Amino acid sequence: MLELIKKSMLTGVGLALVAKDEVEDIARDLQEKMNLNEKEGREFLSDLQKRYDEAQNRLEERVERAVKDVLKKADVVTGDELKALKKEIRELKKAVGKEKSDAAASE
């Protein structure tokens, strides 16, 4: 019975969209209704919180990938790409500056 309730509570995106405090409240209610002892209740709540965090992380990763895909399709430069270009420009400026100073020294 406990496993069935756990599985029904931990359904992918639905769990990730529920606020963490709501998950804790639901777990406490279930603990009372199922007459779980304190140890079982703590284990249930701990398991529920762990699964909630995992579902939340997976959802965040999916959203992040989706946003990156949209930006790429829209041909928008990301912050990381911009930083890489700035770094490359700085390196090129240094190289050009060094070539100029070497040329001036050999004259």
Q: Using CA atoms, how far apart are residues 42 and 40, in angstroms rounded to an integer? A: 5
Evaluate if residue 102 carries a pLDDT over 80.
no
Evaluate if residue 7 carries a pLDDT over 80.
no
C-alpha closest to that of 12 among 44, 43, 56: 56
pLDDT given for residue 104 in this prediction: 67
Query: pTM score, two decimals?
Result: 0.49
Evaluate if residue 13 carries a pLDDT over 60.
no
pLDDT given for residue 2 in this prediction: 46
Q: Do residues 59 and 11 lie in contact, with contact meaning Cβ atoms separated by under 8 Å? A: no
Domain ranges of the chain: 2-76, 77-107
C-alpha closest to that of 6 among 37, 45, 42, 54: 45
